[in-house]
Structure 1
Amino acid sequence: MAEPTDTVRHPLPTQCDRCHRSLPLDEARVAQRRQVIDVPARAFDIVEHCTLEVTCSCGQVHVSTFPAGVTDVVQYGPNVKALGVHLSQGQMLPFARTAELLHDLYGLSVSPGTLVAWVGEARIALQVTANQIAGNLRNASLVNADESGLRVAGKLHWLHIAANDTLTWYGVHAKRGMEAIEAHGILPKRIGVLVHDCWAPYWKLDESIHALCNAHLLRELVYVKEITGQAWPDAMTNLLLNANKLCEAARQKQALFSAADVAAFRTLYDAIVNEGEQLNPETVRGARARGPAKQSVAFNLLRRFRLHADAVLLFIANHAVPFTNNLGERAVRMPKVKQKKAGCFRTVIGADNFCVIRSCMDTLRKQGHGMLEVLRSAFNGNPIPLAA
C-alpha cells in the first residue's frame, strides 16, 4: 500500500454493545486499513510574488527584484503550460478540447490561442535538444527512415522520420524526395546502416549501408502467391521468417552466425530467386511498341530480391540490424493519429512546432522520462539532457 497523504480514523462507539460499559478508547488499535486513491476535484495554486522596498538612512531606496520567469502581473506557471502542451502535442487533443478539459479539471479558463502560444514557447525551449537529436542520428550506426503524407495549410506536405532504439526525429517538408532529405541534413553522407522500405530516393544515399524492411516484402510475397499460385513465394517467406527466428535466438545467446552460415542462407535465397525468375521471365517489348515493356508484379518483386539481396539479408549478417522497419513506421503513427483527431495543421509553423516537441518527447520517453516531465523541465528552463 502507498504512503497516505491523509488518514481518517473512524470512531468506535463509547459503550459496549453487550454490557453497556464504557470502552477503553485510549487502548484502541488499528484493525484494518483501506485506501482510496483520488485526484483533486478542482484545485490550483496561486503564488503571489512581492518585491520589497526599503530606504537607507542616507536616502538611497533599495527594491528587491522578481525571479527571471516572473514577468507579468498575472501569468501561468510551468506546470499548467506543460500540461496544456502535453494534452495537445502528446495526447493529440484539439486545442479547443484541451482548453475545455483544463477548465473541467482545474477551473482554469485558458483560451485555445493561449495554448497555441504555449506550444510556441515549448518549441523554443526544446529546439536545442531537437538539434542534438538530429546530430546524434547523423552519427548513429543505425537509423530507421520513413515518410508519410501530412496536410499542412490545406496542402499536401510530407512528414519525414529518422529513428532508432533511443532517438526519434520528425521533420516536415513540402517535398517528399531528395530535396527534403537534403534539406533536413540527417541522412545524406551517413556511413551507417539505413533501414527503409525500398523507396527509390533512399537508394541515392550511396554512403549508407542499406537494409530493407522485410515486413513489406512478406506482404508482397503473399500477394504474388495469391495471383500466381506459384510455390516460390512460400519458400521465400519461410526462409525469411525462419532466418529471423534463428537470429532472435542468436541475439539472446549473444552469438553470431559464421561466414559459412551466412553463405548457406544466401545460397538458399539465390535458389528461390532463380526458381521464381524461371517461372516469371522478363516481358520483351514488341517491335513497334514504345517505351519499356510492362512487367508482371512477380517479375518486379523478383528483380528487387535480385538487385537488393544484400539489403534484404543484412539482418542475418549483422544482428544489430532489425528484421523490419517497424521503428520508423511506429513513429509515423502518432502524427497520423493527431491528424485524424485534431485535423490538419493550419500553418507550417504549427507543423514545425509539433515536430520539434514530438521529437524531444518521443526521444526522452525512450530514454526513461515521462512526456509531461520533459515539458515541465523545459518550461522551468532546465531541459532534460539526452543520454550519452
Structure 2
Amino acid sequence: MTKKTSLPDLSTLTHAEKDDLIKGLFARLEALESKVNKDSRNSSKPPSSDGFGKKTRSLRESSGKKVGGQTGHKGTTLKKAAQPTQTVRHSLPTQCDRCHSPLPLHDAIVAERRQVIDIPAAAFDVIEHHTLALVCQCGQKHESMFPAEVTEQVQYGPNVRALGVHLTQGQMLPFARAAELIGDIYGLSISTGTLVAWVGEASTALQSTADLIADQLRDAALLHADESGLRVASKLHWLHIVADEKHTWYGVHSRRGMEAIEAHGILPTRLGVLVHDCWAPYWQLDCNHALCNAHLLRELIYVKEVTSQAWPQRMKDFLINANKLCEEAGQKKRRLSDEELAAFSAHYHKILREGERKNPEVARSDGKRGRSKQSIAFNLLRRMRQHADAVLLFIRDLAVPFTNNLAERAVRMPKVKQKISGCFRTLEGAENFCIIRSCLDTLHKQGYGMLDVLRHAFAGNPIRPAHCC
C-alpha cells in the first residue's frame, strides 16, 4: 500500500519552498499520468498489460490494399491424393427402379471420385525383444544381445518420449494436460513425474547441440539480444536470448546485467553488430551497436501524445521512410551513396535540434545535490543524440535490421509457457527448458520439425544445426 503523504503547513513555507513543493507535486502528477497513459502502442509494455478497455493498435501503416488474398497470389486448397490409402465403392441397386429389370453390375464404371482426409484412430505398439541362446557341441554357450537402447524389462520408446517432451516444451502444455492428451489419443497412462523425467533426458541428449548453437552464435556477424523476467522457484530470474536468422539460444540467470552476460559467454567475446533495445549493460560490450527503432517509434508516439509537439511525428515519419528506402535499396542490392548518408544524418539531427529547442534541460536547483529530474521528451532526445550512430546504423549498413523483432519474437514462447503453466518450480526445470527450446527453435528455423528433432535426440543421434553466418 502506498504511504499517504500529508501536506505541510503552507503558512510556514517561504516562497522558494512553495515553488519546490509545487514542482515536486507536478513531477509526481506527471509520473502518475505517464504510468496510466502508457500501453503497448506507445511504450515497451506488452499487449497483455493493456487490459480489456484498451484497443491494441499496430505501428504498421495501412498499405491501402483490400483484406484477403491479393491479385496474383497463388492460393492453396486441398488436393486429391494420387494413391488413396483406402477405397470405398458404393454399391448400386440390383434392379432398375423404373422398369425393375436386373442391372448388369459388372458393367458399372466410376462416375465420380471424392476423397475424405482423416487420421486413423491411434493405438500404441508393444515391441517385444527376444535374445537367443544356444550351446555349441563343444560346450560353449552363445547368447545374443539386446540393443543398447533397450535397458529395462518394460520401457517407453523414443517416439512417445519425444511426443511427451514436444507437448510440454514445444507446445507449452502443462504436464498434467499433456499426460491427459496422450491418454486420450493413445490410451497410455503416463504420470506427470514420467514426463518430467523425459524432459531431463531430452535436455541431457540435446546439451551438446545447445553448446554448438552458442558456439555458432559467437562467430555470427550480426546478433539480436533481449532479456525478460522469468519466475523460477517463486523468485525473479531473467531469461536471456541471443538470436540470428538461423539460430536461437536461451539462458536463465538470477541476474539481469553483465554478471549474467559474462556467465553465458556468448556476447562478450564477439566484435560484430549487436541489435538491442538500449539497455545499459549492452553498452559495456565492445561491438557495433544497433538500436531497435520499434522501441523508439513507440516512445515518439507517447511523447507526441504528452507534449502535442510536432517533432516526434516528424522523427517517426523520417525513421519509417528511411527504412522503406533502405529496404528498396537492399532489394536492388544497391548501397547508399555518401551524399545520401549525409542527407539522412543531417535531417535526423535537424529534427533533434528542433526537439531540443522545445525541451531544454532543467537546470539543477541551487543547493541541491545530484542531477535534476528531466522531462520524458528531453531524456528521449538526449538518448537519440548520444546514440545517433546506433539509431542510424541500419542506414549505413543495409544488412542491419530496423528493429530487434527477431529477439523479441523469441521471448514470446517462454512467456506463453509461463502464463499457461505458471512459474518454473525449480532452476533445473528452467535450465532444461532453455536447452530444449534453444534446439527446437534453432532447428525449426532450419527446416526441421520439432517432433522429429526430439525423436532423433531420444534415438541417440541428435540433429546438428547448420552453421550460418
Is 1:61 the counterpart of 2:157 in the alignment? no
What is the identity, as a one-letter code, of the residue corresponding to 2:236?
L
The aligned counterpart of 1:180 is: 260
Residue number in structure 2 paired with 1:101: 181
Aligned mate of 1:15, from 84, 90, 95: 95
Identify the residue that residue 193 of structure 1 maps to in structure 2.
Answer: 273
- Report the secondary structure of 2:461's partner residue: coil
**Cα separation, 2, equivalents of 1:43 and 1:89:** 23
Percent of aligned pairs sharing the same letter: 70
SS at match of 1:336: helix
Aligned partner (choices 444, 450, 462) of residue 371 of structure 1 = 450
Residue number in structure 2 paired with 1:360: 439
Greater RCO, CA 8 A, separation 6+: 1
- Show the counterpart of 2:32: none
Q: Counterpart in 2 of 1:323?
A: 402
The structure 1 residue matched to 2:464, chosen from 361, 382, 385, is 385
- Residue 46 (structure 1) shift: 1.1
Shift of 1:17: 3.0
CA positional deviation for 1:152: 0.3
Aligned pairs (5 A) from 1:157-168: 157-168=237-248
Moved more, 16-25 or 287-296: 16-25
Partners of 2:153 and 2:266 in 1: how far apart? 43
Normalised by the size of structure 1, how large is the TM-score?
0.97
Aligned residue pair count: 387
Partner residue, 2:124: 44
**Residues 1:255 and 2:339 are matched in the alignment:** no
Calculate the TM-score normalised by the size of structure 2: 0.81
**What residue in structure 1 maps to residue 320 of structure 2?**
241
Map of 1:145 onto structure 2: 225
Displacement of 1:27 in angstroms is: 3.0
CA distance, structure 1, for counterparts of residue 385 and residue 299 of structure 2: 15
Tell me the secondary structure at the aligned position of residue 344 of structure 1: coil
1:128-143 alignment to 2 at 5 Å?
Answer: 128-143=208-223
SS in 1 for 2:242: strand
Partner secondary structure for residue 340 of structure 2 = helix
Q: 1:28 aligns with which of 84, 89, 108?
A: 108
Could you tell me how far apart the structure 1 residues matched to 2:343 and 2:140 are?
89
Q: Partner of 2:262: helix, strand, or coil?
A: helix
Quick check: 252-261 or 194-203, which moved more? 252-261
Give the AA of the match of 1:287. D
1:24, distance to aligned residue in structure 2 (A): 3.0
Task: Find the aligned partners of 1:172 and 1:25 in 2 and give their Cα distance.
Answer: 71
The code of the aligned residue for 2:353 comes to N
Residue 59 of structure 1, CA deviation: 1.6
Aligned-partner SS, 1:171: strand
Question: Residues 22 and 252 (structure 1 numbering): CA distance in 2 closer, same or farther, change over 3 Å?
Answer: same
Question: Paired residue for 2:167?
Answer: 87
Q: Distance in 2 between matches of 1:58 and 1:26?
A: 67
1:291-321 deviation per Cα after TM superposition (whole angstroms, max 9, x unaligned): 1111111111111111100100001111111
Q: Secondary structure at the match of 1:175?
A: coil
Q: SS in structure 2 opposite 1:158?
A: strand
In structure 2, stretches of 5+ residues that fail to align are 1-79
Which residue of structure 1 aligns with residue 60 of structure 2? Answer: none
Separation of aligned partners in 2, 1:336 and 1:203:
26
CA deviations on 1:153-179 (whole Å, 9 max, x unpaired) are 110000000011110000000000000
Q: Which amino acid aligns with 2:237?
A: H
**What amino acid sits opposite 1:199 in the alignment?**
W
Is 1:288 paired with 2:367? yes
Note the alpha carbon deviations across 1:255-277, whole angstroms, 9 max, x for none.
22112111110010011111111
The residue type equivalent to 2:299 in the other structure is E
| Gap regions ≥5 residues in structure 1 | none
Between stretches 25-34 and 106-115, larger displacement belongs to 25-34
CA RMSD of aligned residues (A): 1.2
